[in-house]
Structure 1
Amino acid sequence: MPYVNVKLIDDSLSPEAKAEVIRQITDVFVQVLNKNPETTFVVIEEVNIDNWGVAGQTVRARQAAQRSQINAQNS
């Protein structure tokens, strides 16, 4: 009984995209590992961008820095 936990930044995927992620992950487990889709669980957890860090910064701070850099280059 596979259990797959996918963590993403909140609001990064539409409901349709989430459904497609779930479908495709399930398909991989069925096709590659011969698992029963009825007992293959995929959970998508959305993490607030203030609670997700990369390279010592929150995602929100990194996005703001990237926007500032792009704006400076375009000025």
Structure 2
Amino acid sequence: MPSITVQLLRGRTVEQKRAFAAAVTSAAVAELGARPGDVRIAFEHIEPDDVANGGVLASEDASRSGVLSNLGHESAAPATEAAAVAD
């Protein structure tokens, strides 16, 4: 039984998660020979303050501000402000 854990920023819709689960289940069936009913997918929601990429919190990464705002999070701080916070 494939058990797949997906960590993502809070804010994805049920429809997005449903479509993702269907696509990943199809891939597990095709590539692993799993039965569809045996593919378990668990979504773990994380906050932008709980994950960092390249040493920068997602909540402070200005390059992620579009993604964050699309998910209903406050916009990321501008790079200069984030740098000042890190000092």
Q: Which TM-score bucket, shorter chain as reference?
A: 0.7 to 0.9
Percent identity, please: 21
The 3-state SS of whatever aligns with 2:41 is strand
Paired positions, count: 66
Match of 1:6 in 2: 6
Q: Which has the higher contact order (CA 8 A, sep 6+)?
A: 1
TM normalised by structure 2 equals 0.69
Match of 1:19 in 2: 18
Within a 5 Å distance, the mapping from 1:1-75 to structure 2 comes to 1-11=1-11, 13-62=12-61, 63-65=76-78
- For structure 2, list consecutive stretches of 5 or more residues without a partner in the other structure: 62-75, 82-87
Shift >6 Å, 4+ stretches? none
